């Protein structure tokens, strides 16, 4: 346990945790989840079973597996039996450990957020995992957690903590094993800021065309080719040609050979679009972003339902992302960089996955930010930022020419790619820019995937000038900002701007941080 989290714990005798009757256990369905978790854990035991078999002791493989499963279930049972928690008037106490007992007391005032997560099985059982984030555990998402309690009990617990921090009367906590159907009313009026309907999710999925899915399907077909009862590759036009011939369409296909190519292309598009829609549905089904008294709360997910909050005062930057095609249709994505990670393997909080600017602006207003107005003048980076792309194009051209010289015709691919690489770098350089709005800087970059970062001066922890030998010759500098949150210390930068301009902006930012 870290020093910060240790400060939250105390000896059981030093705090009022009530009588034994006041303590609660986790939901009995915790044991069912333990059985489900045995599947992945059994994989770790397979090498031992393989070693027994290789030694010629095959008769002991099944008994060994049975002993392993029995011991695992016994450990899960004793773990559940020895875990208990107590919700007091202003704190929650947790006791755990089969042999070595650990007692942890967390005051409500130290809890930054109470997250609720439900996997597919947990949703079927009506239970949820509750995590408590205190901000004392560094990069750890939850300082403590309750693996499975009744969903309504989890909601009531969250509302009780919110009520305590807001100074309102606490809500009643339903027993962990119970299924109380009347959760307490929320504290204050939660306002819905953004939601995604199934129709919106479908459209978003179409713009989320997945090339990775094509690679997975192609690899799977190669891997299981010998197991399939037929020999057919949907990506191969020749196989489509043969399929048409099997149905007596030889003469028609000969006259219309383009059908084979169209069939393969349609297959590619269908898999790419279908996988994009599927991934969007799984991740963002039932997406809701609400404004609570102190935080933005996001609920989403089909198979795994997550409920997380980002305290408004912990937001460090806003990142507006779109794509070349998305932008033409007016669709954008909003992410917020905060002091805590999302907890879903994401560094930033995705608060608007797919929305219009008119829907994004109210969300930005809740965190005290705004997009630059249309008439706002932008300053641009020097075109020297395209140098990296030119170098890459030159390497591709030289590599392609060398390959052709050795008699490999594939070198023409690299040679042909050199010009688009150089053109893309030159065009992209035009989109590097920045502007200053009060005590906030907006940074713009990207052509195929435009990104605009809104960075308040108060969020900047460090501002460094980066000057290499090329920038020095042109009197330029790159201003690099260190901002807490995101990937440990997230970096944003304004590349290749006049050095005196970079120094003046840096001075203004640092001066704003020192003002009371």
Last residue of a domain, one of 409, 429, 449: 429
Bridge partners, 127 (sequence order):
150
Give the pLDDT of residue 80: 83
Residue 240 reports pLDDT greater than 70: no
| Separation between Cα atoms, residue 152 and residue 157, nearest integer Å | 8
H-assigned helices in 82-229: 120-125, 151-166, 198-206, 211-223
Nearest to 93 by CA among 24, 193, 46: 24
Residue 149 reports pLDDT greater than 80: yes
pLDDT band for position 472 (cuts 50, 70, 90): very high
Identify which of 116-130, 278-292, 476-490 has the greatest average pLDDT. 278-292
**Is residue 422 assigned to a domain?**
yes
| Separation between Cα atoms, residue 196 and residue 291, nearest integer Å | 16
36-84 pLDDT, tens per residue?
A: 666 666 666 667 767 777 777 778 778 877 887 788 788 888 888 888 8
Residue 216 reports pLDDT greater than 70: no
Give the pLDDT of residue 412: 86
**Is residue 262 assigned to a domain?**
yes
Bridge partners, 129 (sequence order):
117
Last residue of a domain, one of 282, 306, 326: 282
**Is residue 155 assigned to a domain?**
no
More confident residue, 77 or 473: 473
pLDDT band for position 221 (cuts 50, 70, 90): low
Q: What percent of the chain has pLDDT over 70?
A: 73
Give the pLDDT of residue 76: 81
Task: Dig out the tokens for 104 from the structure.
Answer: 């942890």
**Is residue 229 assigned to a domain?**
yes
Residue 16 reports pLDDT greater than 60: no
**Is residue 425 assigned to a domain?**
yes
Q: Judge whether 88 and 18 are in contact, CB under 8 Å.
A: yes
Identify which of 63-67, 167-171, 416-420 has the greatest average pLDDT. 416-420
Please give the backbone phi and psi of residue 453, each rounded to the nearest 5 degrees, phi first. -110, 125
More confident residue, 432 or 217: 432
| Separation between Cα atoms, residue 169 and residue 184, nearest integer Å | 11
Residue range of the domain that includes 392 = 387-429
Nearest to 175 by CA among 297, 27, 377: 27
| Separation between Cα atoms, residue 337 and residue 435, nearest integer Å | 20
Nearest to 432 by CA among 448, 440, 424, 443: 443
| Separation between Cα atoms, residue 467 and residue 464, nearest integer Å | 10
Give the pLDDT of residue 20: 62
Give the pLDDT of residue 11: 39
H or E stretch including 288? strand 288-291
**Is residue 119 assigned to a domain?**
no
Domain count, the chain: 2
More confident residue, 219 or 402: 402
Average pLDDT, the chain: 78
372-399 pLDDT, tens per residue?
A: 998 899 999 999 999 999 999 999 889 8
Last residue of a domain, one of 249, 266, 282: 282
Q: Judge whether 305 and 118 are in contact, CB under 8 Å.
A: yes
Q: Which of 69-78, 216-225, 325-334, 463-472 has the lowest mean pLDDT?
A: 216-225
**Is residue 392 assigned to a domain?**
yes
Identify which of 26-40, 50-64, 265-279 has the greatest average pLDDT. 265-279
Residue 222 reports pLDDT greater than 90: no
More confident residue, 2 or 475: 475
Q: Judge whether 197 and 351 are in contact, CB under 8 Å.
A: no
Give the pLDDT of residue 225: 52
Task: Dig out the tokens for 41 from the structure.
Answer: 């854990």
The conformation of residue 15, written as its DSSP 8-state character, comes to S
Q: Strand pairing of 332-338 and 349-355?
A: antiparallel
CA distances from 441 to 72, 485, 505 (A): 55, 18, 9
Bridge partners, 91 (sequence order):
107
More confident residue, 143 or 317: 317
320-371 pLDDT, tens per residue?
A: 999 989 999 999 999 999 876 555 556 788 999 999 999 999 999 999 999 9
**Is residue 235 assigned to a domain?**
yes
H or E stretch including 38? helix 29-54
Three-state SS sequence of 253-295: HHHCCHHHHHHHHHHHHHHHHHHHHHHHHHHHCCCEEEECCCE
Strand order in the sheet with 476-484: 462-466, 476-484, 489-498
Q: Which of 2-6, 231-235, 399-403 has the lowest mean pLDDT?
A: 2-6
More confident residue, 298 or 40: 298
Identify which of 121-130, 140-149, 295-304, 362-371 has the greatest average pLDDT. 362-371
Q: Judge whether 163 and 169 are in contact, CB under 8 Å.
A: yes
Strand order in the sheet with 113-118: 144-150, 127-133, 113-118, 305-311, 295-300, 288-291, 191-195
Average pLDDT of 436-444?
Answer: 93
Give the pLDDT of residue 267: 73
The conformation of residue 183, written as its DSSP 8-state character, comes to P
More confident residue, 165 or 386: 386
More confident residue, 451 or 407: 451
Is the C-alpha dihedral spanning 364, 118, 286, 451 positive or negative? positive
- Count of CB atoms situated within 10 Å of the CB of 161: 24
Identify which of 78-82, 86-90, 106-110, 445-449 has the greatest average pLDDT. 445-449
């Amino acid at each position: 346990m870290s020093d910060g989290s240790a400060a939250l714990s105390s000896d059981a005798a030093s705090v009022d945790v009530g009588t034994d009757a006041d303590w609660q256990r986790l939901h009995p369905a915790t044991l069912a989840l333990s059985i489900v978790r045995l599947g992945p854990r059994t994989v770790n035991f397979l090498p031992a079973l393989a070693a027994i078999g290789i030694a010629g002791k095959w008769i002991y493989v099944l008994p060994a597996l049975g002993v392993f499963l029995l011991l695992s279930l016994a450990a899960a049972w004793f773990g559940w039996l020895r875990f208990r928690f107590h919700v007091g008037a202003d704190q929650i106490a947790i006791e755990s450990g089969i042999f070595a007992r650990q007692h942890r007391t967390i005051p409500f005032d130290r809890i930054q957020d109470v997250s609720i997560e439900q996997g597919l099985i947990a949703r079927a059982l009506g239970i949820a995992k509750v995590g408590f984030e205190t901000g004392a555990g560094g990069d750890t998402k939850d300082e403590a957690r309750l693996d499975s309690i009744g969903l309504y009990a989890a909601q009531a617990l969250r509302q009780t903590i919110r009520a305590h921090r807001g100074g309102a009367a606490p809500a009643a906590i339903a027993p962990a094993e119970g299924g109380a159907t009347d959760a307490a009313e929320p504290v204050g009026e939660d306002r819905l800021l953004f939601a995604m309907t199934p129709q919106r999710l479908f459209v978003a999925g179409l713009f989320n065309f997945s090339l990775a899915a094509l690679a997975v399907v192609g690899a799977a077909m190669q891997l299981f080719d010998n197991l399939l009862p037929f020999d057919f590759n949907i990506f191969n036009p020749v196989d489509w040609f043969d399929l048409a011939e099997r149905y007596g369409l030889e003469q028609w296909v000969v006259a219309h050979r383009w059908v084979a190519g169209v069939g393969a292309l349609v297959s590619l598009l269908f898999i790419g679009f279908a996988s994009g829609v599927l991934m969007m549905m799984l991740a963002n089904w039932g997406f809701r972003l609400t404004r609570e008294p102190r935080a933005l709360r996001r609920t989403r997910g089909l198979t795994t339902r997550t409920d997380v909050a980002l305290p408004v005062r912990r937001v460090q930057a806003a990142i507006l992302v779109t794509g070349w095609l998305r932008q033409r249709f007016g669709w954008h994505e909003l992410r917020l960089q905060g002091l805590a990670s999302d907890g879903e393997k994401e560094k930033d909080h995705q608060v608007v996955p797919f929305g219009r600017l008119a829907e994004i602006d109210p969300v930005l207003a809740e965190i005290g930010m705004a997009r630059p107005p249309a008439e706002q003048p932008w300053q641009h980076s020097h075109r020297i930022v395209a140098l990296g792309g030119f170098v890459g194009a030159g390497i591709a051209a030289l590599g392609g020419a060398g390959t052709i010289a050795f008699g490999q015709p594939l070198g023409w691919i690299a040679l042909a790619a050199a010009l688009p690489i150089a053109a893309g770098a030159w065009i992209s350089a035009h989109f590097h820019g920045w502007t200053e709005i009060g005590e906030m800087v907006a940074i713009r970059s990207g052509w195929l995937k435009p990104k605009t970062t809104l960075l308040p001066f108060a969020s900047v922890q460090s501002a460094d000038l980066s000057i290499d030998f090329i920038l020095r010759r042109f009197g330029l500098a790159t201003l690099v900002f260190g901002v807490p949150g995101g990937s440990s210390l997230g970096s944003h930068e304004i590349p290749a701007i006049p050095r005196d301009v970079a120094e003046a902006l840096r001075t203004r930012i640092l001066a704003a941080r020192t003002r009371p």
